Every structure is written in structure tokens, then in C-alpha cells.
Structure 1
Amino acid sequence: MTVKVVIDSICSPSTDLVEKYDIPIVPINIHVGDTIFEDVIEVDARDLYQKLENDEEKITTSAPSYERFLIEFKKSLDTHDDCLCMTVASTVSNTYSLAMKARDEFDEDKRNRIHVFDTNTAGPASSLLVMEAIEMANKGKNIDDILSTLNELKPNAKFALILSTLKYVQRSGRVGKVTSIAGDLFNIKPLIYLNNGEIKFFGRARGMNQGYKMMIDEFKKDTLEKEMIRVAISHSNVEEEALTLKNMIKEIYPDLSVDISPLTLAIGLHVGPGVVSIGYIYK
């Protein structure tokens, strides 16, 4: 039994892994002024972050059309027994519901071969679940075994990030302007995590270095003495800061592999440049 994994761009691992494993991506739409680009496929991250910082044009994002899912599902079923579509948490995007809508367009036989999986998280945490599924599929595991493992890991998949500024979150309407100005004035860096589909603030740091320590403390508390840990770091245009966080993880787990990749723009454009995030799963 063969399984093809399809993902939305918010779940995307690094470009190298996407190319190595030939992972089909349904991209989130990025609106720059009156022009629409596709996340991952058509955009220059540095250019967009520059436009965002300079407030040159209005930049927003939107979910992909369900027709894009239809196309990828059909391709997958033409060559594989089952298609596993993995999406960002349904609590923060309607991508999951669009994938389900596309699935419902097929006849019963094909519909039963399409499996839409809500990762209940985002960014690097979702990408780690994706890689777990792909590695199992490449070993010949069937869809039931893969889904069983994913459902076991999903409650322990956490995506955490530290905001360098509240300015961009304020633009999106998630915090008030006064709160944003006060936070930047006093160098307050909020820490946020997404786990089990729920976004929570778990701390406020005075400066990025204190924020990194708080993130690592949370990571260590969750993963200490666990039998399996996978971790990845994503950043919005600050690779050196991501390396700092990687070195802190290596001090705890010297033998642990830690991948670093750019944060998907579908998230990065809402939180702004200068953000470092960590995703991890464990059991």
C-alpha cells in the first residue's frame, strides 16, 4: 500500500526536504497590494519583509482555493493507493475545511482513499509531523499505521515563538495599539505557543535573550527523559538568532538533529521580521 503526502504551505519543511521527497504543496495566497502571489512558490521573502518594514504596500494572506487541493488529490490518487493531506490547525485557518470540501468532490471509492489530517499546530511543529508521515510512507507503512502514529504524536506537537515587536501583530488587529507601543517601549517580547489547536501566551521577556531562555526552559520541561524528540527551528530573516537558539538546544541534547529553515511567509508576514520559532514533537 503506497501513501502520498500532500501539505499546505504553512506545514512545509525546508526547501531541501520538499525537493528531496517530492512533497506537493498547496500554497497559501499572499496579497501584495492588488497582486496575488503563492507562498513558497512565487515570493521573495527578503523583498516582502522589506516592504513590510517600510510599510510600502498592504500585505495580507488568504487560504488557497479548494481547486488546488482537487488537483493535488487527483495526481496523488493516480499514482498511489492513498493520499494523506496534512494541514495547519483548523482553529487558525480554514485550509482544513477547504481540503475536506475538495475531498467531498470525489466519488465514494476515491473519497475513502483521501485522508485529511489536521495537525492542530503550525510552522516547524507541523513540518515535523509531515516528515514523520513521509518517512513512514517511504518505509512502506500503510495509511492506518501512519494515522495512528500521527494521532499519538499530535497532542505533543508544540509550536512556540518569540515576537521581536508587537507592531505587526497590532496591524493584524490581534493586540491594541497602546499595548503594542508600550510593549516596544519597555522592550517586552511576548512568547506564544500553539498546541492542540490553541494559541496561548506563556510569558513576557525583557529582551530576546531572556525570551530564548524561557523558550528553552519550556522545551526542556516538555521533553526531558522522553524516548523520542524531534525539533526544528524557523525564523523570519534572522538566521544568526536561529543559530543562537540551536546552540542552546545542543547544550541540552548534544546528539539531537536540529534543522533551521525560514518561517513560512503565511506566518512570517503576520508576526513580522526578527522572529525566531521552535517546533517540536515527542513521545
Structure 2
Amino acid sequence: MSVRIITDSGSDILPGEHEGLVVLPLSIMFGMDTYADGVDLSHEHFYELLVEGDDLPKTGQVNPFVFSQAFDEAADAGDDVVCITLSSKLSGTCQSAMTAAAEAKTVVRVVDSLNVCVGERILVEHALRLAAEGRTAVEISDELTELRDRVCVVALLDTLEYLRRGGRIGAAAAGVGTLLSIKPAITIEDGEVKMLGKARGSKNGRNLLNEEVERAGGIDFGMPVALGYAGLSDKLLQKYIADSKALWKEGFPGGDLPVHSVGATIGTHVGPGAIAVAFFRK
């Protein structure tokens, strides 16, 4: 029996990006307008709306009915399911999946990624590799659960504006930070967003990212790696890549790194210009 991999759009994987992967959209609400993330709201349009609006959008979880439909379709095709969700500490989506799984007509294993965005992405991509090798749903979910603590995400923000608008820092702190060109670095730890440190200026910020990669123990290039950028341009990420060639030479000697756009789930809070790196620790 084959295994179908299902995830949510918190992974920032677009529908059709990976053959056979099912991506269920979260809902994104700008005022009275509600969109299906990655379906009728592209990442590009999201950032246009984000920059133009005064208020931050709200994100809605994937509900149990949507998961039930996806699980039923897998059952009808004779497939078991491994469902990988964004962190249960950031969204109720994982609980929705578990609720639907309890009534599923096939084997469904739900894996809480304890991550989001590019961190969730690389766990999904590893699951796809395991499924292609013919591993069972139980084997895949057990391995993902064991490996998820090795997933490391480090990100650098270009602006404090969206942390201020989301109420995570005060206006005075944001104003001083902007004046001094403070670039905060964040990570996902135990399923939640944590502050790593602050750097003054973009160059120091990029150095801080590399220091955090080294502190994590280095990159396992035998596993999936992903780099992400928030906004309409990957210019800042490409600058980081160019300045950090030595870091990537071992795994990507040709320089063709896996670069992806960051969507609404994290983009709402970090704003345009943020860059992120996700990898499995050695």
C-alpha cells in the first residue's frame, strides 16, 4: 500500500510543487476578505496587501472537515497517510488533523512538525523521500518524530515594524531599533518563535546567522535544506548567499541553492525583507 503525504500551507509549499503531495490551505483574512493561502492568494499578492494595509491579517487554521476530505480521498485511492502539520503551539491545525484522523477510513499518522515555514518544509521533503523508498506510514511518521528535534531554523528580520504592529514589541523599542538599524535574529524552539539575538546592520546580521548555524552543529547536507525570503524580492537572501559561499560549498558546489518564498503564516509577523535558513543538524 502506498503512502500519501499531506501537509498544510504553513510549510509554504505551493500546490503542485511536489508530485503527489497534498497541500491544504490555511485561511488568511484581510479585514472582511478571506483567502485560501497559496490557492487564491499568492505570496506576491499577500505582500502587496500586507504593505498597503494598516492592520495585520489574521490566519485561520485548516479545519477538521478539510482534513477529513483529504483523508477520505486517500482512502478511496487505497493509500495510507502521513500528515505533517505546522507547530501545534502556533496553530490549531495539528489538532484539526488529529480530530479528522480519529475518524479516518485508512491509516493516518499525524506528525506535529513543531515548526513552520522552511522548517516544516524540509520535514515534508524528507517524508516524500521516505515515501518514494516504499516506507510505511508508521515507519515514516516514527522517523519524522525522531528527526524533528534536529531541524534548525535561523532567520534574520530586516524591519521591526511588523513585530511592533503585532504587539510583540513597543513603539519606542521599534523606533530606536530602526534608527540604529537593528536586525533581530529568531529561531523556532520547542515549536515556538524565540529571539536569538540582535545585530546592528545587515552585514553583522548575516554574520550572526552563520554563527548560529555553526553553534547548532553544522548542516547535514545529506538531508533537505531550504532557504526562504519574505517579500517581493530575494535580493537580501541572494546577498547573504553570496557572502556565505564557504558555508554552502560542501553541499551545493554548483551554487544552486533551494530558495523559496515565505508566505503569510510567518510573513505576517516578520514583514518583507526577512531571510531564513532551515537544515537538519549534523
Question: What TM-score do the two structures reach when normalised by structure 1?
Answer: 0.90
SS at match of 2:153: strand
Distance 1:190 1:259 in 2: 23
Question: What TM-score do the two structures reach when normalised by structure 2?
Answer: 0.90
Matched, 1:266 2:260: no
Matched, 1:244 2:239: yes
State the Cα distance separating 1:235 from its structure 2 match: 0.7
State the Cα distance separating 1:56 from its structure 2 match: 5.3
Does the CA-based 8 Å contact 2:97-2:110 persist in structure 1? yes
Greater mean deviation of Cα atoms: 42-51 or 130-139: 42-51
Give the aligned length.
277
Distance 1:47 1:86 in 2: 26
Aligned to 1:39: 37
Greater mean deviation of Cα atoms: 20-29 or 84-93: 20-29
Matched, 1:221 2:219: no
Instruction: Check 1:148–1:227 CA distance in 2 against 1; reply closer, same or farther (3 A cut).
Output: farther
Matched, 1:8 2:3: no
Instruction: Check 1:46–1:78 CA distance in 2 against 1; reply closer, same or farther (3 A cut).
Output: same
State the Cα distance separating 1:224 from its structure 2 match: 3.3
Alignment of 1:17-28 (within 5 A): 18-28=16-26
Distance 2:91 2:120 in 1: 13
State the Cα distance separating 1:255 from its structure 2 match: 3.7
Instruction: Check 1:117–1:93 CA distance in 2 against 1; reply closer, same or farther (3 A cut).
Output: same
Instruction: Check 1:149–1:245 CA distance in 2 against 1; reply closer, same or farther (3 A cut).
Output: farther
Distance 2:268 2:219 in 1: 36
Aligned to 1:201: 195
Distance 1:255 1:75 in 2: 41
Aligned to 2:85: 87
Matched, 1:133 2:127: yes
Partner AA of 2:11 in structure 1: C
Which consecutive unaligned segments of at least 5 residues does structure 2 have? none
Which consecutive unaligned segments of at least 5 residues does structure 1 have? none
State the Cα distance separating 1:172 from its structure 2 match: 1.5
Does the CA-based 8 Å contact 1:187-1:207 persist in structure 2? yes
SS at match of 1:89: coil
Q: Percent identity?
A: 26
State the Cα distance separating 1:229 from its structure 2 match: 4.6
Matched, 1:165 2:159: yes
Distance 1:264 1:58 in 2: 14
Distance 1:100 1:119 in 2: 13
State the Cα distance separating 1:223 from its structure 2 match: 3.7
Instruction: Check 1:7–1:249 CA distance in 2 against 1; reply closer, same or farther (3 A cut).
Output: farther
